[in-house]
Structure 1
Amino acid sequence: MSKITFLGGGSFGTALATLLAKKGNRISIWDRDASVVKDINENRKNSRYMKELVIPENITAHLSMEEALVEADYVIVSVPSHVVRSLCEKAKAFIPKKAIIISIAKGIEEGSLKRISEIIEEELGNPVVILSGPSHAEEVAIEIPTTVVVSSRDMKYAEIAQDLFMTPNFRVYTNEDLIGVEIGGAVKNIIALAAGVSDGLGYGDNTKAALMTRGMSEIIRIGIKMGGNHETFSGLTGMGDLIVTCTSMHSRNRRAGILIGKGKTMEEAVEEIGMVVEGIKACKAFYQLKEREEVSMPITDVLYNVLFNNMNPINGVADLMLRDKKSETY
């Protein structure tokens, strides 16, 4: 059995840690929050993120990153995308050279516009695997059947990760299209946030179907422009992740969007959700990326203006509906 360290004790990290612990692995979780560490070690709970989950005995939480990373065979990066670089900078001195890094973060870096795998490779130099797909932590934790995708620049490491995570209720596919896997997993958060705004405004199924379909067009356009494969976006990390994030109340992005659609500010919505809303970070970063690459992403444009330029969401919908007419497949 392997020693696996999770850097970050959030909801999805805790769910995956429990999955891997049940397979007999030795699990360490590092978290900067002393109350989370204490709760896991003393109460076998993570009440802040996963209230109902019972934490197995072979999971130990640490405040010390150095202690958590001792003898790690695998290091799971389970923090929000915007702190991945700073986390890697802090962890670099303690991560064993043999360790395979597996990231479950979804996004690109604001400013540099680099993908998560690029950031980790730049900072650490260890082999990097990306895990993505439609996988709400709340359902993974109670072993509801789930399927995900793993990808890497060197697919032998993706295949190792595939074996590591596979269970009767957690099926793992490989996909050689690392760029497509990362782009699909990041942009869908933008569309899910927009879908939530639509729900908050009181619009119906017609509107959400339109947003999801035209949102998929945006995912495909920017994904292919960056070097991804069209087929990837029809799969789990494209269409699959888009469906689950736009339709489920487990989705922080959708829930935050609903609050914004009902009139709350971005800041008020994030405070009420109580956790990072990745679609907000992604919207700003992909707005920069689509401007640089000259890619048409009208839903992203409108959401950016709603979030950062105080546009009324109803006016944003009007802007989308009244654009110049064109062919669907243009």
Structure 2
Amino acid sequence: MSIAVIGAGAFGTALAVTLARETSVTLWARNVGEMAVKRENVARLPGVTFPDNLIVSDQLETALKADIVLIAVPMQALSSFAASVDLSRKTVVACCKGIDLSTIRGPSAVLSKANRVAVLTGPSFAADIARGLPTALTLACSDDDTGRMVQSQVSTPTLRLYRSTDVVGAELGGALKNVIAIGCGAVIGAGLGDSARAAVMTRGFAEMQKVAAAFGAEAETLMGLSGLGDLTLTCTSDQSRNYRLGLALGAGTEFDAEITVEGAATARALQHVAAAHKLELPLCATVADLVDGQLDMRGAMEQLLARPLKEE
């Protein structure tokens, strides 16, 4: 069964590399010149040589002929990509995390015109996957037969996929943990300590569960890889772009604007979600204000600590 990966960012490249160690894979990108010559994605995943089974192509129509298409474009570019291609007969796997700002929808809803849609999410760094380090992810698909088929084709000896039919819960876990990671990075960047980070992680997880419940997600999903697992990884490692953005915000230093940080857009989207569902999400709201420059770290800390005392 043929596999293609759309999008040659770090995560898309890493998936293509690890899958190509087992079978033939096509990796699509707009510009493939340097990758095709050097057999390496120097810009996004340096030091990882492409396996012989990895075909790099800039021909989108060719890539879309694959039986399973993994889509690893940035979340805010997913809607325009989906509108530009015919996915009505395709089995697609969304490999991006976040909420589309223009429609306030998750990846599976944006890709709803595809024949069959699954979501791949969970605690993972591209460098770990590409180097063959053991990684476990959630594969969520509302149709369990499709989920089983994709699971069997996309799992490798070092990439272990666990199935779920709770697509909404898996998507929300992957999206919301990025917002909390920004908050945790800000705490450490500002020198507030590990105890404060633990508090942000825990209270942030409570807000994640509150949003998930409002959308009808299963509580168990948030306790798994796509929720608690991904939250733990992203909030504790500077390999996370969201965490690094938080570090910069907390320390008052510059952050490279060219780096895609999905949590920033998700924090903004959550403002709309909270208003629509009448949810109180103080930590997520504070992160949104930090990202948009409406608060500095002193103001953020004062805003959270001045809230009324309550039961946990």
**What is the TM-score with the length of structure 1 in the denominator?**
0.91
* Identity in percent: 32
**AA in 1 matched with 2:168:** I
> SS of the residue aligned with 1:134?
coil
2:18 is aligned to: 19
2:219 is aligned to: 230
Alignment of 1:130-149 (within 5 A): 130-149=119-138
- 32, 50, 58: which one pairs with 1:55? 50
- 10, 28, 31: which one pairs with 1:30? 28
1:87 is aligned to: 81
CA distance in 2, matches of 1:60, 1:90: 23
Whether the 8 Å contact between 1:138 and 1:250 is mirrored in structure 2 is no
CA distance in 2, matches of 1:30, 1:166: 20
Whether the 8 Å contact between 1:40 and 1:60 is mirrored in structure 2 is no
**What is the TM-score with the length of structure 2 in the denominator?**
0.96
**AA in 2 matched with 1:323:** R
2:36 is aligned to: 41
**AA in 1 matched with 2:72:** S
**AA in 2 matched with 1:90:** S
**AA in 2 matched with 1:31:** A
Give the 4+ runs in structure 1 shifted more than 6 A.
Answer: none
- 254, 262, 269: which one pairs with 2:255? 269
CA distance in 2, matches of 1:182, 1:292: 19
Is the aligned partner of 1:281 residue 2:265?
A: yes
Is the aligned partner of 1:111 residue 2:92?
A: no
CA distance in 2, matches of 1:77, 1:244: 22
Q: Please report how far the alpha carbon of residue 299 of structure 1 lies from its aligned counterpart in structure 2 after TM superposition.
A: 0.7
Q: Please report how far the alpha carbon of residue 286 of structure 1 lies from its aligned counterpart in structure 2 after TM superposition.
A: 1.3
Q: Please report how far the alpha carbon of residue 48 of structure 1 lies from its aligned counterpart in structure 2 after TM superposition.
A: 0.6
Alignment of 1:243-322 (within 5 A): 243-264=232-253, 268-271=254-257, 274-322=258-306
Q: Please report how far the alpha carbon of residue 150 of structure 1 lies from its aligned counterpart in structure 2 after TM superposition.
A: 0.6
> SS of the residue aligned with 1:287?
helix
Whether the 8 Å contact between 1:65 and 1:91 is mirrored in structure 2 is no
In structure 2, stretches of 5+ residues that fail to align are none
**AA in 1 matched with 2:263:** G
CA distance in 2, matches of 1:295, 1:145: 37
> SS of the residue aligned with 1:323?
coil
Residues 4-53 of structure 1 show CA distances to partners (whole Å, capped at 9, x for unaligned) of 121100111111101111112x2112212x2xx12221111000110010
Residues 205-264 of structure 1 show CA distances to partners (whole Å, capped at 9, x for unaligned) of 101100000010010000011110111111111100000000011100001111111113
Q: Please report how far the alpha carbon of residue 96 of structure 1 lies from its aligned counterpart in structure 2 after TM superposition.
A: 7.5
CA distance in 2, matches of 1:198, 1:79: 29
Paired residue total: 312
Whether the 8 Å contact between 1:129 and 1:151 is mirrored in structure 2 is yes
Residues 58-103 of structure 1 show CA distances to partners (whole Å, capped at 9, x for unaligned) of 222222312332x3111111011111111112222xx572x31001
Q: Please report how far the alpha carbon of residue 278 of structure 1 lies from its aligned counterpart in structure 2 after TM superposition.
A: 0.6
Q: Structure 1 residues 168 and 67 mapped into 2: Cα distance closer, same or farther (>3 Å)?
A: closer
